[in-house]
Amino acid sequence: MAEASAPAIATRQPRFVILRWLKLRPGAAHALPVIAFLLIGFAAPLAWVIMFSFMPERSFSLLNEPTLDNYVTIFSGTTYRSFLWSLGLAAVTVILLALICYPIAYGLTRVFGRWSTLLTLLFTIPLFVSENVRLYGWILFFIKNGVMLGTLKSLFGYEGETWLFTEGMIVLGMVYVYMPFMLFPMTLGVSMVPNETRDAAFDLGASRWQVFKEVDLPLAMPGIVIGFLLSFVLAVGALVEAKVLGGQRVIPIVHEIELAFTYAQNWPLGAALAVLLMLVVGTLVMLVLRRFDLDTILGRR
């Protein structure tokens, strides 16, 4: 028995010697592959983009003299409108998603019972279809003489203009596309509210509004916050909705970044726009998280 275990002990000794040399605990050593993956796949490209944002206009090398000309170009032009459009559309989308998804999440958790699984599946199925295909489906629905206007014309003689290529259609597309990303975290948050706590509040004479304000909403807040942040970050980076349903009536900031990196061949300007977008979104996210207990949101206590 001792002879059989001797080779295993011998093979383990070098590993622990390496850990001692690196002054790492086994848990930290096991995390090294994940840390290396994050450094190579996330931190390194991000650092590359940040460095490129300080390069001269239309340069493709990091060996040039750093400059702030790209940021001066952004702040001296009208690019701020794209930032405002992206942030405004994302904010409207998140507000509408919250108003739509909370009643659905409440129903999935407490009302629909055995039908909850079927309804959840119905909300999940669109995720298996390409976003472009779904948005072009909306074009066929709203286009002049399409499904909706064609039906209204044949039934009631309604001669209306298409609703496409407006800001409202962009918001509709964003609400439709990002609904699951708000609904599922919110459903998880609503399911975290114990029925016993709600029953106790009702027994103490609380009204439905008081139970919602003092019990349901605070206890479901971790899931609601995650849904808000996830939907907002995705909506700020929305591009296809503005192109397909908006007909480029609105130019979001991600479209400006795409144009800088492709047609304009101005990588430093595109990198500067991307850095500013990350700073704006990151600052807003951190301001929101400061109002909540991050450990509670992540389920650590």
- 246, 167 Cβ separation under 8 angstroms: yes
Q: In this structure, is residue 289 part of a structural domain?
A: yes
Q: In this structure, is residue 54 part of a structural domain?
A: no
Q: Which amino acid is at 232?
A: F
In this structure, the number of other CB atoms found within 10 A of the CB of residue 239 comes to 14
pLDDT > 70: what percent of the chain? 87
pTM beyond 0.85 = no
Q: Across the chain, what does the average pLDDT equal? A: 84
Confidence at residue 173, expressed as pLDDT on a 0 to 100 scale: 92
Q: In this structure, is residue 62 part of a structural domain?
A: no
| Angstrom distance (rounded) from CA 232 to CA 36 | 29
Confidence at residue 1, expressed as pLDDT on a 0 to 100 scale: 46
Confidence at residue 89, expressed as pLDDT on a 0 to 100 scale: 94
Structure tokens at 120: 């959840």
Number of structural domains the chain divides into: 1
Confidence at residue 24, expressed as pLDDT on a 0 to 100 scale: 59
Residue range of the domain that includes 168: 78-297
Query: pLDDT of 96-130, one tens digit each?
Result: 999 999 999 999 988 887 888 888 888 888 888 88
Q: In this structure, is residue 60 part of a structural domain?
A: no
Compute and round to an integer the Cα radius of gyration of the chain. Answer: 26
Q: Which CATH number do you get for residue 95? A: 1.10.3720.10
Q: In this structure, is residue 51 part of a structural domain?
A: no
> C-alpha angle 91/99/152, rounded to 5°?
95
Q: Quote the crossing angle between the two packed helices 116-124 and 167-191, to the nearest 10°.
A: 140
Q: In this structure, is residue 101 part of a structural domain?
A: yes
Query: Could you tell me which of 239, 187, 206 has the C-alpha nearest to residue 82?
Result: 239
Confidence at residue 183, expressed as pLDDT on a 0 to 100 scale: 93
Q: In this structure, is residue 57 part of a structural domain?
A: no
Query: pLDDT of 14-24, one tens digit each?
Result: 555 554 555 65
- Measure Cα distances from 226 to 15, 38, 180, 192, 240 in Å: 40, 22, 12, 14, 23
Q: Which amino acid is at 23?
A: K
Query: pLDDT of 206-246, one tens digit each?
Result: 899 999 999 998 888 888 989 999 999 999 998 889 888 88
Query: Could you tell me which of 5, 184, 23, 211 has the C-alpha nearest to residue 109?
Result: 184
Confidence at residue 9, expressed as pLDDT on a 0 to 100 scale: 46
SS3 133: helix
Structure tokens at 179: 């609904």
Q: In this structure, is residue 10 part of a structural domain?
A: no
Residues of the chain falling short of pLDDT 70? 1-28, 292-301
From first CA to last CA, the distance across the chain in angstroms is 45
- 97, 229 Cβ separation under 8 angstroms: no
